Every structure is written in C-alpha cells, then in structure tokens.
C-alpha cells in the first residue's frame, strides 16, 4: 500500500482525515466533501437539531458548528501561509468554541446555509492559489502545515464529522453513496 503523499506535510492526527478523501486533487476533494455534507444535511430534521446520542456529546447543531468553525480556522491558516507569512499561528480549543456557541440563536437551516457560504469561500480561496502558494510551509499550533494540506484537512475533517452524523446521530448507513 502506498502511503498518502500528504502525510509528510501534516501531523499523524491528520492522516485518518486524508484517508477519507477519494481524490488527490484539492478542488475535487473540497467539492466532494461539500456534496456529501449537503446530502447528509438533507436527512437532518429540525426536531433532531438538538439531539446528542449520549450525555456530554455535542448536539447535531454543535457538530455542524464545529465543522464550520474548523473550516474557518484552517482556511485562515491557509490564507496566511499562502501569502508566505512566516508568523507562527496559535492553536484553538474546539471544545471551548462549541461551548461558547449560542445555538439558541441559530436554526438548523441557518447553520446549513452558513456551511454552504463558508465552503464556497474556501473553494474560491484555494482555487486561486498557485503551486508555490499551496506548498509554502507555515507553523500553526507548533506544527508545520502547507496550505494544500490544510485544504485537504478541511475536506477530510468535514467528511469525518459527516460520517459520524450519518452513522451515529442519524443511523443512516444505508444512505451512504459510492461515488
């Protein structure tokens, strides 16, 4: 088995996310994960938006918020590195981000629409990067990344959480499509 070439530019915890992506083309990966996400979003009913499958687990809306927040953080890092910014960027605590999300002010459809806008923005960001920009190495959370690996991280992290929503929150294994 050939090791994924993205492994060399990202920490080990990213590797399982990369393995969820069925393509080695960044734009295709972002578009694929968006399609899969929107497909799964179609199964989420408003009465399930505050569902958590067990105590101390995120609700459906909180998982979606987490996907959006992480995409924004990863895209921001990619933007900085693609502009050859050598400043070391700090990490973030995703649990605190979710804890400070005021979900009562967001409806499920608002989150779905926000996701679509954020992904469209990410696609436009990466679409205009040159190879040199995509391959620049920067440091975030004391770990070296390239904008390219961050783009694939957006797609793979998104797929990871969509798979959890589909299988654990919705119990819809039979809806998984093969592309």
Cα-Cα-Cα-Cα dihedral sign, residues 110, 90, 24, 132: positive
In a domain, 12, yes or no: yes
Q: Tens digits of per-residue pLDDT, 2-40?
A: 467 788 888 889 999 999 999 999 999 999 999 999 999
In a domain, 135, yes or no: yes
Residue 103: the pLDDT is: 73
11 DSSP assignment:
-
In a domain, 177, yes or no: no
Work out the mean pLDDT of the chain and round it to a whole number: 91
Q: Is 56's pLDDT higher than 60?
A: yes
Q: Are 134 and 148 in contact (CB under 8 A)?
A: yes
Average pLDDT of 37-66? 93
Characterise 88 by phi-psi region: left (phi > 0), alpha (psi -120 to 50), beta (else). beta
Helix (H) or strand (E) holding 138: strand 138-140
What residues are paired with 57 via a beta bridge? Answer: none
* More confident call, 7 vs 174: 7
SS3 25: coil
Domain CATH number, residue 129: 1.20.120.450
23 to each of 16, 139, 157, how far by Cα in Å?
14, 25, 15
In a domain, 164, yes or no: yes
In a domain, 139, yes or no: yes
Residue 65: the pLDDT is: 96
Domain that holds residue 161: 5-44+56-172
Domains in the chain, number: 1
- Residue identified by tokens 């959006």 is 68
For residue 158, name the pLDDT band (cuts at 50, 70, 90).
very high
Residue 3: the pLDDT is: 63
What residues are paired with 87 via a beta bridge? Answer: none
Which phi and psi (to 5°) does residue 96 adopt? -65, -35
Q: Tens digits of per-residue pLDDT, 81-116?
A: 999 999 999 999 898 999 888 777 888 999 999 999
In a domain, 49, yes or no: no
In a domain, 50, yes or no: no
In a domain, 131, yes or no: yes
Alpha-carbon distance 38 to 13, whole Å? 25
């Amino acid at each position: 088995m050939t090791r994924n070439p993205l492994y060399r530019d990202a920490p080990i915890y990213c590797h399982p996310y990369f393995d969820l992506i069925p393509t080695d083309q960044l734009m295709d990966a972002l578009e694929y994960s968006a399609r899969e996400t929107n497909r799964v979003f179609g199964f989420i009913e408003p009465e399930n938006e505050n569902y958590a499958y067990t105590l101390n687990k995120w609700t459906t809306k909180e998982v979606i918020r987490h996907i959006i927040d992480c995409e924004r953080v990863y895209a921001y890092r990619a933007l900085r590195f693609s502009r050859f910014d050598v400043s070391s960027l700090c990490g973030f605590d995703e649990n605190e981000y979710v804890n400070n999300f005021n979900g009562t002010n967001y409806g499920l459809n608002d989150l779905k629409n926000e996701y679509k806008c954020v992904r469209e923005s990410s696609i436009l960001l990466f679409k205009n990067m040159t190879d040199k920009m995509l391959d620049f190495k920067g440091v975030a959370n004391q770990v070296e990344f390239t904008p390219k690996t961050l783009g694939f991280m957006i797609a793979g992290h998104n797929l990871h959480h969509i798979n959890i929503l589909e299988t654990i929150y919705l119990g819809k294994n039979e809806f998984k499509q093969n592309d």
